[in-house]
Chain A
Amino acid sequence: MTRRPIEELVIGYARGEPMEVEERERLRAECSASAAVASDMRAQEDLTRRLAALRDAVRVPKSAVVDDERLLEAFRAAHARRATSRRRFRRGVGAAGIAASVAAIAVVGMLHRVDDGGRAGAPAASASDRAVDASAEQGPALAVFHALPFSPGVSPGASYSVVRVRIPVSSFPVVHAIEPYTSVEADILLGPDGIPAAIRFVDPEEVFVTAAADSKER
């Protein structure tokens, strides 16, 4: 066992800390032999008493209790906020699931357009043609958001949130992905009502090959 300095033993004893029998004997011997150690011991014991008196004298004032009700109100408000955000999150996750399915349709639409790219007399722009410029929000490497078919579109000034989802390629009925992709990552833009409004693919769109193009190549 390490031999502790006598000052440490004095303070430990005065604080009522547990002490080995051997240490206690050593302390007793030092107190008998040295007036300075005995004086330190008295001072430390007195300090312990005074600190205890100070501790006992400090009480939470009654005026503080008045604020208890305010705290409870804050608690109720905070809990209500948390519950709302949990509901939003659940709705968001549910919506992301729907969005993933809708994304499949969007991908098909997009790739068909790619196939028909050079053709004249293309139909008037549909909802999925309207790319939403989200360049302010995203890095330059990411694609723009594509409005989802049947979505009300993106209104400027409204507040949206982005949920990142991973969509298995098998969920796209008429689209294949090149190796080694088995799933693709996409960001879904959720409207203030929790309804998916637009999508952008984190993985490059070139990973997709339509069934038609695939069979053409073969």
Chain B
Amino acid sequence: MTTTENEDALLLRDLIAGDEWAFSELYRRRRGEIYRFAFAMTRSTALAQDVMQDVFLRLLEDATRFDPSRGTVRAWLLGCARHVVLDRLRAEGRWAADAAVDDGPSTPCPAEDAVFTEQRLAQLHAAILSLPVEYREAVALCEIAELSYAECAAVLGCPIGTVRSRLHRARALLARRLADIDDGEAPLRRVNEVCG
């Protein structure tokens, strides 16, 4: 266990004992990756924020259920986030990839470079959302939340080899999809098209 993981475990122990600072500190440390994971899975800021809050509300109730022999606190929190995300996607009928995205280009109208960068990121994100959900999870956990294969395996409850093969297939699909886009299947819109 690394120092950070050890610190997480200590924070969890202290928050169970009622230490408010420990709770704030764990929240401050881990909310970013939970938000990033949820956003990568849904591309909705509102939903990602809800997931982040839900995970920490669940933590208040279930902190004592954490079992260090089954993984790190970080993996456990992301495992909770995964369940919340999947529940929400099911409930909202957004299980399959869709184009229901609530994040348009930022206003006021940005410079052309920024628009292109934003569009390229949007294309990548759309490509991630078009992946089957198990591949999407692997990308969101390993690439966006930056979990190791072992941590990701703990979150998904599957062997490391499965995580590796899912991620590799996902990356191969993403690379092909982005190559299609770059070859002109979905050309980038210019600033005046975006901003009207």
Footprint of B on A, CB under 8 Å? Answer: 7-8, 11, 40, 43-44, 46-47, 50-51, 53-55, 57-61, 63-64, 67-68, 70-72, 74-76, 78-79, 82-83
Residues of the A chain whose Cβ atoms lie less than 8 Å from the Cβ of B45: 61
Count of chain B residues near A, Cβ 8 A: 38
C-alpha gap A25/B45 in the complex (Å): 44
C-alpha gap A8/B167 in the complex (Å): 10
C-alpha gap A59/B120 in the complex (Å): 17
User: Which residue on B lies nearest to A42, using beta carbons?
Assistant: B175
Q: How far is the CB of A15 from chain B (nearest CB, A)?
A: 8
In the complex, the answer to whether B120 meets A50 with C-beta atoms within 8 Å is yes
Binds A, one of B17-25, B77-85, B89-97: B17-25
In the complex, the answer to whether A53 meets B49 with C-beta atoms within 8 Å is no
At the interface, yes or no: B40 with Cβ under 8 Å from chain A? Answer: yes
At the interface, yes or no: B29 with Cβ under 8 Å from chain A? Answer: no
Q: Is the interface of A mostly helix, strand, loop or mixed?
A: helix
Within 8 A of A (CB), among B14-47: 15, 18, 20, 23-24, 27, 31-32, 35-36, 39-40, 45
Residues of the B chain whose Cβ atoms lie less than 8 Å from the Cβ of A67: 49, 53
Contact check: which of B15, B24, B52, B143 meets A51 at CB < 8 Å?
Answer: B143
Footprint of A on B, CB under 8 Å? Answer: 15, 18, 20, 23-24, 27, 31-32, 35-36, 39-40, 45, 49, 52-53, 56-57, 60-61, 117, 120-121, 124-125, 139, 143-144, 146, 164, 167-168, 171-172, 174-175, 178-179
C-alpha gap A105/B168 in the complex (Å): 72
Residues of the B chain whose Cβ atoms lie less than 8 Å from the Cβ of A58: 35-36, 39-40, 144
Q: How far is the CB of B131 from chain A (nearest CB, A)?
A: 13
In the complex, the answer to whether B18 meets A51 with C-beta atoms within 8 Å is no
- Interchain residue pairs A-B with the least CB separation, the first 8: A78-B60, A43-B175, A79-B18, A51-B143, A60-B35, A58-B36, A75-B23, A64-B49
